[in-house]
Structure 1
């Protein structure tokens, strides 16, 4: 279990981080270059479509495994492997799941309530892109840090 757990967290955090990285590297930039009405409507659609068993299974499943890593990090406490498991778990649970729940989802929910052709939507769109991307960068880095710590735990 102590080999399978960090391996699965490494894969899950790496895959999730890759999805987040794609949004930071090019998806949001492409949407931001569109007229506000079109970029906003596309993001509203993405936010609905992402709620599917494949992505949610990966995202929530990795959260559960990362939480187990946090617990496993305390038994036995004091080894390098313990610290790496704890770091892998905390980075993902706080930096990916927590940031998503507290920072990205509320912005997505506000965006979902807007009529894409309204003046309010046009005014909010650049604010949304800027703020959402800031937090997406954080969760991208957290996922990659989690994957790296989990990979390092495999070598201990």
Structure 2
């Protein structure tokens, strides 16, 4: 089976999609678009909150708690990204001195959110974001900046 082939359950879900209620149809279509275990959990939380808000059996208290949780975690992410941005521009500052580097701090941070989205893993996200930034910088040295002789010397230095 290739990665792009449909499983029997996927085929069955597609076949019964029309017969489902509108709310359930939207949820199934969303899951069929990209499997939920392949998505970044916190990035699609808002979709589920909005879907639950339209549900006739929605519990207002539960909805309010979900919104509060979402907003609190988003606040944590904003604070972490702000701190990472200050580290990247003010403390490290390599992007100013070495203009060939790609400025991919936000992308590197989002990768770590995908790996560890839970609020208690803030330290992990900070360290992993920094490591990702350094890997990106080294990749740029190899791809954009260095000559073959310089890169051989750089590789030898890293190996040692």
Q: Looking at secondary structure, tell me which structure has more helix per residue.
A: 1
The TM-score normalised by the length of structure 1 is 0.32
- Normalised TM-score (structure 2): 0.31
Q: Which has the higher contact order (CA 8 A, sep 6+)?
A: 1
Asked which structure has the greater CA Rg, the reply is 2
